[in-house]
Every structure is written in structure tokens, then in C-alpha cells.
Structure 1
Amino acid sequence: MNSENIKTNEDDTIELDSEFAETLHELWHAILRAARARRQLPSLPESQLDTLRRLAKNENMTPSQLASELDLSRSAISDVIQKLSSAKLIQREPSPSDGRSVVLTVTDKAKKILDEFQQMRIDVVRDALYDLPSRDARRLRSDISSLTRLLDRINKFADFAEFQKSHSHMK
């Protein structure tokens, strides 16, 4: 095999990987857009939805923990927290371990909104899969374990990068 063929194969792989990443990104936005269109769901910005989802999974996070988890600056997370608090979607409470700091929790109102978004996302995906040729729908459903493994791997990369970043000052 000559070097020109190898270069072409590498270029094809890079192009396919780029297309795959872009398709996943667009798929997420399309699902969210379709879910919002189906029902009168609040038009919360993605940063606010991400914040609510993260807090629903990990209650009692401090603002700095949340900023780190979401890779947002202190000022950005402060703005998101203020907006969610004003909308009565999160609560600030004194930290049980440190009276000087606060922890954040989602309200019942936020939990209801997150449940509605989740159900609508499921409905959108189910309906879209139903509209596909059955072979494509079966293939996509059977490949979910591959996508889950990909997600785990990407999360490991992100965790490792965060670890390196947080320990770089120790050098």
C-alpha cells in the first residue's frame, strides 16, 4: 500500500469522525427543539437545563463544584444560578458542613420540568425511530451499547483532562 492511499484513508477517517461528532451534536439539538415544539415546555437555555440536570443527579452541590462540573466560569455559573433561583427552579441553602458556603438543590417545580423534558425526548426519539425503515431503527437501537461505551470513553478523557488541569499547579 503506498503512502498516498494511507493518507487518503486517514483523511476519510478524519472526515467521517468529524461528521459523526457533528451529527451527534445536531441530533441532540434537534431532539430538544422537537420536544419543545410538541409541548409548551419552557424555553430554558441549554446552560440552565444542563445545570438543572446536573443538580438533579447530584443534589447539594456548591456553586464552585457546579461550575467545575459544567466547565463554566464563576461569573457564568453565578448568572445561571441567579436566573434559576429567580424562576424558583433551584434553592440555595446553607451548607450543612460549612456555614459560610451554600449548596444548591432543585425544586419540585424543576423536577417536574425535567421529567416533562425527559418524557418528550423519549417520545420524539421513539416516533422518529418508528418513521425510519425498520432495519435502520433496529440497527440504531442495537448500537446503543457502542454509543454508551463511546460516552464512557469520552467522559474518561474529560475526567483525565480535568485531573491534569487541577494538578498542573503542583509541578
Structure 2
Amino acid sequence: MSEQMDSPRSDLDLDVNLGTDLDPALDPARLAGILSPLRRALLTASRAAHDLPDIPDAQIQVIRALPAGESRAPSDLADELRLDRSTISNLLASMQRSGLIERRPDPSDGRRALVSTSARARSIFASFDAASARILGAALGVLDPADRTAVAAALPALERLLSALIADPGTADADPDPATTAENGAHYAASHPAT
């Protein structure tokens, strides 16, 4: 299924629980139709600008779940990323062959392994994050001031939306605590820069 880059569809026939207090001007299908192509456009532009390798999305998510200096058990990664254990095992094997992660025995339990990002992965992602920031800055620069102000004003709400999705991605009628979601969204954004 391909995504349309020009005009996201807002007339999709979706079974979405919109809630009673949702602004009728806010179209969840339109938002979903914008976010994914926006992310992909940024990823493509950043890769091209710095000749960065084409790392599959699933591997990007694993790397983002392993901030520098953090080691995790594969089972913990599978739980956080909501992947089957066999899927995470295959991903990690491929990533190890590509030099993106390192494995070592768990010092507290020799039967378990811990994985962490490699220096190569951290270098690639530092380059990607710098390129992304420059590209977004340039793109924001062509918007009129009112649009830039609107984007800036939307950032805290988008962080809270991200936090709500991370907390429970399958619940349409979640009512997250605003203070918790703001804190979680800011923490996630700081430790998992956008790709």
C-alpha cells in the first residue's frame, strides 16, 4: 500500500473512536496521513544530504531504543517495541553483522546477553540527527511566519500525543494525565530524536 505524498486523504472510512471533546476540525485520518510521509521525506532527505546508509525502519527503532551507553536484554527490547522475540532476534543478528550493535554477556546472569549500540551506529545517528535538524530548519524557513508559529505552538501537543501513543498505542479512549504525558513526551523526544 503506497502513501500519497501530495494530499493526505481525510475522507477515509475509518472506525475511529473520536471521543466527545475532540474538535471537529481535527481529522485523525488526515494527521496520520501527514505524519508518516513527513517522517519519510525527512529520512530520505537526510540520507541523501549526507550519503547515510539506508537502515530499515525496524533497525532504526531498535537503535532509538538503545540510547548511547545503555545496554538492554533482547527480551526487554522486544517488549518495549512490541515485537515477537524471534523478530527481535533476527533484527539483532542482522544489525550485529552490519556493525550497528554489540552483544556481551549479562554480568548478573551469564545465560542472558545484553545489546548496545556500536560506535558506528552512534556516529551514523549523530550525522542523521544533525542533517535532519538542518533540513527541517531550511524547510521551516520557507514557511510564512504564521505557519512557523503554528508549528512551534503544536510541538508540546505533539510530544503529549507521542507520549499517549507510547503509553498505550491500542487504546482509543485513553485519558492520560497531562503532566505525565508532557514529561514522558519530552523525555522520549530527548532520548529518541525523530527519524
Is residue 66–residue 116 contact of structure 2 (8 Å, CA) maintained in 1? Answer: yes
Residue 107 in structure 1 maps to residue 105 in structure 2: no
Is residue 53–residue 114 contact of structure 1 (8 Å, CA) maintained in 2? Answer: no
Structure 1 position 45, deviation (Å)? 0.4
Is residue 68–residue 122 contact of structure 2 (8 Å, CA) maintained in 1? Answer: no
- Calculate the aligned-residue CA RMSD, in Å: 2.4
The corresponding residue for 2:187 is none
The list of structure 1 runs, each at least 4 consecutive aligned residues, that deviate by more than 3 angstroms after superposition, is 12-15, 158-161
The corresponding residue for 1:145 is 156
Structure 1 position 66, deviation (Å)? 0.8
Structure 1 position 157, deviation (Å)? 2.3
- In 2, Cα distance between the equivalents of 1:14 and 1:69? 33
Matches within 5 A, 1:73-92: 73-92=84-103
Structure 1 position 54, deviation (Å)? 0.8
Amino acid at match of 1:112: S
The count of aligned residue pairs is 151
Structure 1 position 15, deviation (Å)? 8.0
- In 1, Cα distance between the equivalents of 2:114 and 2:150? 43
- In 1, Cα distance between the equivalents of 2:153 and 2:117? 34
Which of 8, 11, 23 is residue 34 of structure 2 equivalent to? 23
CA offset digits 1:108-130 (Å, max 9, x no partner): 11110111111111111111100
- In 1, Cα distance between the equivalents of 2:53 and 2:63? 13
Residue 72 in structure 1 maps to residue 70 in structure 2: no
Which of 13, 38, 44 is residue 33 of structure 1 equivalent to? 44
Structure 1 position 13, deviation (Å)? 4.1
Is residue 59–residue 105 contact of structure 1 (8 Å, CA) maintained in 2? Answer: yes
- Matched residues, percent identical? 32
Structure 1 position 58, deviation (Å)? 7.3
CA offset digits 1:77-97 (Å, max 9, x no partner): 111111111111111100011
Which of 78, 83, 93 is residue 104 of structure 2 equivalent to? 93
- In 1, Cα distance between the equivalents of 2:94 and 2:171? 31
Is residue 103–residue 116 contact of structure 2 (8 Å, CA) maintained in 1? Answer: yes
Normalised by the length of structure 2, the TM-score is 0.70
Residue 46 in structure 1 maps to residue 35 in structure 2: no
CA offset digits 1:49-91 (Å, max 9, x no partner): 1111111267211111111111111221111111111111111
Q: Whose Rg is larger?
A: 1
Secondary structure in structure 2 of the residue aligned to 1:101: strand
Residue 62 in structure 1 maps to residue 73 in structure 2: yes
Structure 1 position 145, deviation (Å)? 1.1
Secondary structure in structure 2 of the residue aligned to 1:93: strand
Which structure's residues are more often helix, by fraction? 1
Normalised by the length of structure 1, the TM-score is 0.80
Secondary structure in structure 1 of the residue aligned to 2:66: helix
